[in-house]
Amino acid sequence: MDIYETIQNLINREIELKLIEKEDEIYVRNKVIDLLEINDFVIKESIKAEEYSIPDLLEKLIDYAVKNNIIEDVFYEKEILSSKIMDCFMSKPSTVNKIFYDKYEDSPETATNYFFELSKNNNYIQTKQIAKNITYKAPTEYGDLDITINLSKPEKNPKDIAREKLVKSTNYPKCLLCVENEGYAGKAGHPARSNHRIIRMNLEGEQWNFQYSPYAYYNEHCIVLASEHRDMKIDKNTFSRLLQFVEKFPHYFVGSNADLPIVGGSILSHDHYQGGRYEFAMAKAEEEYEFKLEQFKDVSFGIVKWPMSVIRIKAENTSSIIDAADYILNSWREYSDPKVDIYAYTDKTPHNTVTPIARKRRGVFELDIVLRNNRTSKEHPLGIFHPHEDVQHIKKENIGLIEVMGLAVLPARLKTELKEVEKYILDVDNNIAAPHKPWADLLKDKYKGKIDKDNAEEIVRKETAAKFLRVLEDAGVFKRNVEGFEAFKRFVYSIS
């Protein structure tokens, strides 16, 4: 397939997917050949009908650009050109927003279906990269946990890293979540966003924005972000916005990372939420202890059977949930229980906050309030309620919103490291990493006489999931034992 056929195949695919109309064909073709510095176009009577995916066709165009010295063979230049090519197929943000809200009149689901397909078909959602992730489910007493070894984000080579160091910082856009990323060409160290589109919406009288995650971890993984670049903050307005979002899009959940270091997510410098069309194990978990708060008579409360410490609030009226959640948050921020290592402050430094998650189910609104504490100690310098040292060979990073709900986002290094663990427990030549060896020795003893080449991978995957479950238990402020449950009830009694 030559360059003309590749361009035409890409155009044909996008017409088929309704990203553009037949009338746009010549216009788009001319925009693409200009980017590729092609001065002519050979229109053949018959273009090959091979059904290459959009990412595959784009790769062929980028390879052509590199071979013909149009761009250098460095990651960010290839990403920028790829994004610019796909922008040739895209309508302006105002048009995308108009189509979205026209479809919203039919149903919220119709609107998100349109935008999700658009974001895939314009290659903003990196479907080919996402497919590289290793994913599986692991049954536990709390339900099926989702395990993901994250391989989607492309690795940079030394040339890419060197280029990034040469780029002068302009503080524009201020971060990866700013609305100013929409249509931004990109540069070394900042991803290309020429083909990026954002849906505007009003949440509690303020403009917020809706987009999908380019490297999604679950179905229709979306991001809801503030127009203003400001720090993450959990307060009564947060609960109002989360519930208003699920009121607008009842087929989605939405939640927020906590607003303190260690227990927060990776970007605390921009107020944002994450949502999507997926039911995590935590959402399926049942309440194991119900209680009442007299001042909120139309609201039900329950402690959820989950390795972390979760209070589920349910009501048909969102304002009642918001008031109840605000009361629990403010009570928790000031709460200490030295018997279980919970202190609200060190001097004037706060430690208590929450990770909230909202959904609507069978006509009833739910808000899960996950209690968090980010205090550290000599024994646990990375965090008392953080993955402890004996599980950090699997997961050392912060436990944010996605992990809280039961999806492990594990580092790419584990793809090769766990294969060496498999070899080690099979007693064949291996290069096992030193941090994994004590664990692997325990596996050898646990499965002595039961390990073979047919089940070694299954065993390692099962035990990796068990480590992630331990990670969640470490992050729980009230432990899953008698002492922990009594301490959880003490907090409940304190607010009753």
In a domain, 332, yes or no: no
Please state whether the peptide bond connecting residue 173 to the residue before it is cis, i.e. omega within 30 degrees of 0: yes
What pLDDT is stored for residue 156 in this prediction? Answer: 62
Range of the domain at 26: 3-128
The CA distance from 341 to 376, in Å, is: 10
Residues 6+ apart with CB under 8 A from 451: 425, 426, 444, 459
SS3 470: helix
Asked whether residue 354 is assigned to any structural domain, the reply reads no
Q: What is the pLDDT of residues 63-82, one digit of tens each?
A: 999 999 999 999 999 999 99
Query: Which token pair is 132?
Result: 């590289």
Residue 241 pLDDT more than 60? yes
Cα 286 from Cα 306, distance rounded (Å) = 8
In 3D space, the residue among 311, 125, 102 whose CA is nearest the CA of residue 215 turns out to be 125
The predicted pLDDT at position 368 comes to 98
Look at residue 226 and tell me whether its pLDDT is greater than 70: yes
pLDDT at 162 over 80: no
Distance of alpha carbon 9 from the chain centroid: 32
Three-class secondary structure of residue 181 per DSSP: helix
Pairing of strands 143-149, 407-410: parallel
Is 33 a member of any domain? yes
- Alpha-helix runs per DSSP H in 177-317: 236-248, 281-284
Residue 235 lies in a domain: no
- Which two tokens mark 312? 């589920």
Assess contact for 220 and 252: CB atoms under 8 A.
yes
Contact call for residues 329 and 354 (beta carbons, < 8 A):
yes
- Give me the number of domains the chain comprises: 1
Is 80 exceeded by the pLDDT of residue 470? Answer: yes
Tell me, what's the pLDDT at 267? 84
Whether residue 285 is contained in a domain is answered as no
Q: Are 100 and 242 in contact (CB under 8 A)?
A: no
- Measure Cα distances from 129 to 209, 303, 395, 416 in Å: 25, 38, 22, 18
430: left (phi over 0), alpha (psi -120 to 50) or beta: beta
**Residue 404 maps to a domain:** no
Nearest-angstrom CA–CA distance, 73 and 65: 9
Quote the CA–CA distance of 383 and 464 in Å, as a whole number: 21
pLDDT range class, residue 1, cuts 50, 70, 90: confident
pLDDT band at 129 (very low <50, low <70, confident <90, very high): very high
Judge whether 217 lies within some domain: no
Q: Is the pLDDT of residue 159 over 80?
A: no
Give the Cα separation of 453 and 188 in Å (integer). 44
Average pLDDT rounded to a whole number, residues 108-121: 98
pLDDT tens digit sequence for 379-425: 999 999 999 999 999 999 999 999 999 999 999 999 999 999 999 99
pTM for this predicted structure: 0.95
3-class DSSP assignment, residue 39 = coil
d(CA 122, CA 115): 11
Decide: 301 and 434 in contact? Cβ < 8 Å.
Answer: no
58, part of any domain: yes
Query: Residue type for 89, please?
Result: F
State the number of CA atoms in the 13 A half-sphere of 302 facing the CB: 13
Q: Which burial class, exposed, middle or buried, applies to 413 when counting CB atoms under 10 A from its CB (0-12, 13-18, 19+)?
A: exposed
**Position 132 pLDDT exceeds 80:** yes
419: exposed, middle or buried (C-beta count within 10 Å: 0-12, 13-18, 19+)?
A: middle
Q: Are strands 287-291 and 349-350 parallel, antiparallel or unpaired?
A: unpaired
